[in-house]
Structure 1
Amino acid sequence: MRRALFIYNPIAGNRRVPRELDKIVERFQKNNIFLEIYRISKENEELKTIIKDSKHDMIIASGGDGTLGTISKIIINEKINKPFATLGTGTCNNFTHNIGMPEDLFESIDVISKGKTAKVDVGIVNDKYVFLSSLAGGIFVEASFNADLDLKQKIGPFAYYFKAMSEVANIKSYDIEIRTKEKLYKEKAHLVVVLNGTHLGNFSNVLSKSTIDISDGEMELILVKESNPIELANLFFSILKNENKINSDKIIVLKGNEFDIYCDETINISIDGEKGPSLPMNVKVLEKAIEIFIP
């Protein structure tokens, strides 16, 4: 029987995992995987040591993008050579959507049990902070921090939409400067995003799947240029309806393996949905940095 360290966030999403933990253990055991279970809490000082000293065949994490990002950072920084399994049980689950994991929790367990893996890219900020799916700065980012927890558990990602739309009437733009290896870009913009995949805040069509490869050593940087409230709301709803608006003249898309981002003003920064450091920052792509289970 294979052995796995199973790490779960008990308050992620609708808190389904704590309620169905016995069924989860049963499903893994039926698939010949024995779990040693670790419950994430506010204080997790011993988590790095537990992961580093693990004698298990694999590490499995259950939670939202922030939880998965935290554990992947430990795996990468500590150079742990074990496959990483992800169960997206948070509100948006952008990373598990990007790698094609099923929506159903128990179907995802079956995928993990089949043992197919691949190496994927991750982003690293200032040579310190790791992200699996996205980094974002500007408007709407604060909405992800302030969305009501009870509302998120009841209606999922729509809690973010409602909170974000309440900010449209008070939109603010920033003088943002982007440096790549080839060029310097200066724009008055509302939002800057570095994206590893096609999903952002549960928007599934931010970029066309046919053009995205999360193992190619590059990511996409998206700038939403200064717009009036009506233009911004129309852009927001077009993406919500899965209409690909990436060709809008209000959007700039850059592709590369390193970006330097500057702004003289304070901007809220989100890394996989969690609060990040202040600008300026350097963002690099670590190509095929982590081995994960995939369908």
Structure 2
Amino acid sequence: MIKHGEKNDVHISLIREAQTVCAIFQDNSMLCNEENEKVIQHFVHCIETHGRHVQYLKFLQTIVKAENQFIRKSQDLVMQELINAGEDVLVFYNDKASFNHFIEMMRSERHCMDEGSPLKYHVELVKLLACCTMGKNVYTEIKCHSLLPLDDIVAMVTHPDCIPEVKEAYVGFLNHCYIDTEVEMKEIYTSSHMWTLFEKSFLVDMADIATAPTDRKHPDRALENYVTNCVMNIIITFFNSPFSDQSTTVQKHLHEARVYWSDSTMDDYDPFSVNIQLKQSPFSTNKFSQYESSWLEYVLCV
């Protein structure tokens, strides 16, 4: 029988093992491209048997991408092993009780996320799933759709207490799993999900950055990095997507936004055969400040 102290020693040893192997595989495309099925199975099994430690996830993140190359074989293997492991490894907070618990975790760790907390584990798990879909991998994209649906992404990102680190993970997942994809995910272009994110999250965070104190004594670096990198990246990817160009819904939103900001009539710009009078702004701009409006004008019209 293993004593408590000995058990902790085993956990520490395995975590250090994961960190060491991670350093060996880091940006080594030749090594990552080799047959690594047993190595992947080993670290997924470590999560199942020795606990949900982020170091195991970070190794799996490392093995699916090296030197800006996405290792398709490793992506497929990692995804399959995660699914095989099930709820012991794949931890989501998508029912009401667990979602509320996750919100409480974000509130308590808003200013300092604990590396060993369930919150940090979930953030790294979502990042891992995003890594498995990078490079347009249709097999992993389909698997991820069932794990983290659009409704769950929007509910999390638009919650007032959602912290930048969680938003970054979820929006990165959204970008790689639903937008920058091999096969069109029609729902993201025909539904209201993206427009809800614009109105209730992206614009709000942009305004927070734009109206922050100019003395820079207490900047929210995490929020700034999220907005200037992650948010800008998904906006550019979404509107530059060939699927976006083909979507009547997206083009109509863009058209109405351009008309609204140009103070012109629908007839001046209408790309459609039937002109429809513009009755209101495409977004509820009365809710936003001049800073948010300026950001929206930049994003949609430049």
More relative contact order in 1 or in 2 (CA 8 Å, sep 6+)? 1
After TM superposition, the score normalised by the length of structure 1 is 0.26
After TM superposition, the score normalised by the length of structure 2 is 0.25
Report which of the two structures shows the higher radius of gyration computed on alpha carbons: 2
Q: From the two aligned structures, give the one with the greater helix fraction.
A: 2
